[in-house]
Each structure stands twice: as C-alpha cells, then as structure tokens.
Chain A
Amino acid sequence: MNQLERLEQSFAQESVPFFEIGDTVRVSVKVIETKSSGKKTEEEKERIQVFEGVVIARKGKSVSERFTVRKISFGVGVERIFPIHSPSIAGIEVVRKGKVRRAKLYYLRTKKGKAAKVPEREFTRTPKASAAKATAPATQAAVEKTEDVEATPKS
C-alpha cells in the first residue's frame, strides 16, 4: 500500500458491513430536511430513510467504493448508487442472501416478474477470502486511527 492509498484509507469508515452481489439489503440513509416554518427560520432536521433492494453491482475501491441497489417501486425499476464509506449511510442490513454466478447483475434490468428474482442461498457461506478483503482494510484503518480522526468527516 503506497502513501496515497494509506491516506485515502484513513478517510474511510472503520468497518463496513459485509454483503455480496445478489444480496437483498436494507440501506439506512441519513437525510437532512430543511424546514421553513412560517417565519423564515430554517430548521435542519435529520431523519433516516430506508432503501431496500438487490445489490446488483459493486464498483471502485477504498473510499470511493460504491454499490448499486435495485428495487421495483410501484412497478417501476429504481436504482440507487451509494458510496459504501459515505457518512450519510447509517447502516446496511442484509435481509436475504442471494445465489448468483456473476459480479454484475445488470441482466435483471431486462427481466420481469419471476425471472427478475434472485434465488435465495440457503446455506450462509462463511465470509472467507472475499470477506477478509472487505474487513481487513477496515481494521487496518482502525489501527492507523490516531490523531487524524478529527480530519475524518463524521456525521
């Protein structure tokens, strides 16, 4: 890991929940609402919004890693791309494990009904090599976490 990668990692979240392509996840996103009630006093309020769907892609690495979640909302396909390390993400919860054979599930976009469903994986694969990849930089970041944390933008 060179100096630049190490620096970038120091801005990443300490730990990122483990999930894989094809999993159905529930992403909690912090949303800031500005309310202007009557008089011009603008009030900033934070609340949690939930987006639930199938992870169809993971792209990038380190702080800039992002994942795409797809769901069908009122018959319309909706996709949202989240940066994995974003401070706006309050949590990622795996609802259902998916059984898939490729890294990008873009084929789901052209499918409808049952064909657009990802089969569930019964046995839960122990997070081995791929999981170590996901958590290792995170733990490393925790070790490196010294006085620099004040530079890390947190909520």
Chain B
Amino acid sequence: MISGLMGKKLGMIQIFDERRRLLPVTVVEAGPCGVAQVKTVKKDGYEVAQIGFQEIAEKKLNKAELGHLRAGKSKLWKHLREFSILGKCQVGDLFGVDIFSEGEDVFVQGTSKGKGFQGVMKRHNYAGGPATHGSMFHRAPGSIGNASYPSRVWKNKALPGQMGSKRITVQGLRVVAVRPEENLLFISGSVPGSIGSLVVINKLQKEQ
C-alpha cells in the first residue's frame, strides 16, 4: 500500500450526500498506478516508493527514462512521483482507487491555472485607487517602501509578476465516493488545475 495516487482531473459536478445536501465534488480519474522503483534507507537514504501513472509508448520516452524504468523491470509510465510506503510494496505492484475509502480525509496537489503576468490588484489583492474624480492613480501598487530606512525594497515585497501555474496544495478535502470499476474518485470541493491536468491525491497520515 502507498500513501496516495496520481490522477487526471475530469471536472466538477454536484451530487447529493448522505445528509441529502447538494454537494460540489471534483471527479478525478485516479490510477491504476504502478510501482516503478522502491527506494530504501540503505541505498538511497530514505524509504519511499516511486509510482508511475499513465502507461506510455516506448518511443515517447528518452533513453534516460527508459533506462531507469527498464532497470527495475517496471512498466513504462508518463508521470513519476514519490509516495511513502504503508505496509508492503514492490516494483510492479499496481494500486487503484480502492486504496481510498469513502469518507476518508485527503489533501490534493496540482498545478493551478496560469493567469499570466498580473498586476498587484489581481495578484495580491491591493486596493488600488479611485477610478474617477481625476485621481490619476488606478491600479498601480503605490509606495513600495521608505526612504532613509531601509532605503531599499524589502525582500518578498508583493509586486506584479507571474500568477498561477504553480504547485498548489489543498488540504481538508474528503473522498465522497469511490468507483473502482471506472477508476473514479469523487472529492469534496475544488481541486487545483484545469480539466485534464495531473493531480496528486494523498492520504492524510496521522502522526504516530
């Protein structure tokens, strides 16, 4: 068993939950994911399973990727990610959505939708200035620091730049329904990324 799965976001729908409330859920086609490599403390310094998702043709991989996957006699995978091992697992093992149960708490990682180069109002929720009355100050950031001290701009000052298209983790989500025959997971709420993008669903591991 492993601590999570990779999947493809299919989109959002609404379903009724057991308390008869209409609930927004994200449908994710997750797995089957296969173990590509098992890393051990002895050899790699930490214990983890490298998991592959979406089988792919040989010609779509480069020699380095092929060599890595062939070395472990694993199937050829498009995506590789590391997950911690719960219990036993060896190269070639396949895991599906049945590692999750209904009502289980999960957190999901994905790449958020890209918004491009954005100003401070959209990117950092700056207030901006009045639109009218000749203010001449509309969407600009305004002052970004003081003069004599520090007479420079502080590090991490929120300024315009690339927004979105970055790795986002969403916590506090719940698996509402599991359909193993279709490899589908129904996760409460929204999940980062556009439809069709890769998402990683992790089990919430309680500290021991």
B89 touches A (CB below 8 Å): no
Pick the contact of B16: A3, A4, A148, A153 (CB < 8 A): A153
Inter-chain contact A8/B15, CB cutoff 8 Å: yes
Interchain CB contact under 8 A, A11 and B15: yes
- Which one, B17, B22, B179, contacts A64 given CB within 8 A? B22
Q: How large is the interface on A (under 10, 10 to 19, 20 to 34, 35 or more residues)?
A: 10 to 19
Residues of B within 8 A of A147 (CB): 181
Indicate which residue in A7, A88, A153 contacts B27 across the interface (CB closer than 8 Å). A7
| Contact of A87 with B by CB under 8 A | yes
Q: Is the CB of B22 within 8 A of A151?
A: no
Judged by DSSP, the binding face of B is strand
Residue of B nearest to A151 (CB): B177
B20 at the interface (CB under 8 A from A): yes
B22 touches A4 (CB 8 A): no
A66 CA / B27 CA spacing, docked (Å): 22
Give the docked Cα–Cα distance between A63 and B14 (Å).
Answer: 7
The yes or no answer to A83 lying at the interface (CB within 8 A) is yes
Say yes or no for B207: interface residue by CB 8 A criterion.
no
Interfacial residues, chain B to chain A (CB-CB below 8 A): 10-11, 13-18, 20, 22, 27, 177-179, 181, 184, 186
Going nearest first, the 7 A-B pairs with the smallest beta carbon separation are A8-B13, A11-B15, A151-B177, A153-B16, A88-B20, A64-B14, A4-B11
